[in-house]
Amino acid sequence: MRRRSASRLLAAIASATVAAGVRAAALEVRPGAVVRWPGAEIEECSLGERRWQPLDGACWYAIDLEARGVVELVRRSSGGVASRRVAVADYPYPTQELEVEEKYVAPPAAALARIAAERVRVVSLFALETPRRFALPLAAPLAALPSSARFGARRIFNGEPRSPHSGADYSAAQGTVVFAPADGRVALAEEQYFAGRAVYIDHGGGLLSMSFHLSETLVATGDEVARGQPIGRVGATGRVTGPHLHFGLRWHGARVDPDLLVGAARAVEIR
């Protein structure tokens, strides 16, 4: 009994702490979500060190797939600086077990330098903040977009846990044309160890799209592309179990669920 009342006391303390936290952070969002905070005469939006311009009369915030805890959203307008806190909690994304070639789980020593160099090139793209060239919602990367996308899935490759799935996987037949989701500039197009043939497009406004595992790329690094332009074909290159398009979005550096911006913009609203 004593043990039970002690745990009840602890539970009461925990819920009081949570209540205090909830007062400070009114809104709960899942990792990978997009938050929209509309307002009049917004001059600048910011989160952490990143700053950007409003879009369609609102600040849009991308909540990274691995963000946890309280995140402070800041908005500067003619009326001054305002901030809102949102709470990012664990979200029950499903677990996905996959069997791939062993070289994609334990890369050979000879591949490590290549993997590291690719990582450096890619990480530098996450910091891009060029003038915005996209509108929301984004165009679909495939003519027929399947619904199951598995964003956020905890992945186990050949029995070993790896990082959560940071994009949407759209199954499609080998050779299916992949389209640019918006205007932009091809920041990088190359064949990579894990991503296979990959196209990274800078759409400005801090938005970077990634199309992986292509059988063929139809654009080159530095090319200007228009919304809806073919950029490649679906394939099974890199770490895959079969042909599909892996489509990822980084917005202001954060990994967000592409389904929230493609076809329709589905943001959590701050009022």
Query: How near is the Cβ of 141 to Zn ion at its closest, in Å?
Result: 13
Of 77 and 171, nearer to Zn ion (C-beta) is 171
Pick the closer one to Zn ion by CB: 133 or 246.
Answer: 246
| Least distance between Zn ion and beta carbon 162 (Å) | 11
Q: In Å, what is the CA distance from 157 to each residue of 29, 172, 195?
A: 28, 22, 15
Whichever of 64 and 169 has its CB closer to Zn ion, that residue is: 169
Provide the binding-site residues for Zn ion, judged by CB under 5 A: 167, 169, 246
Minimum separation from the CB atom of position 25 to Zn ion (A) = 31
DSSP reduced 3-state for 150: coil
Length of the chain: 271
Closest to Zn ion by CB, 85 vs 155, is 155
Q: Closest distance between Zn ion and the C-beta of residue 180, in Å?
A: 19
Contact 167, 194 (CB under 8 A): no
Q: Which residue has the tokens 């050979």?
A: 108
Q: Is residue 90 packed enough to be buried (19+ CB in 10 Å), middle (13-18) or exposed (0-12)?
A: exposed
Q: CA 65, CA 160: separation in Å to the nearest integer? A: 20
C-beta closer to Zn ion: residue 164 or 205: 164
Residue nearest to Zn ion (CB): 246
Q: Which is nearer to Zn ion, 253 or 258 (CB)?
A: 258
Q: Which H helix or E strand runs over 2?
A: helix 2-24
Cα 220 from chain centre: 23
User: CA nearest 254: which of 116, 127, 144, 100?
Assistant: 127
Least distance to Zn ion, CB of residue 239, Å:
9
- Alpha-carbon distance of 177 to 223, in angstroms, equals 18
- Compute the least distance from the CB of residue 31 to Zn ion, in Å: 17
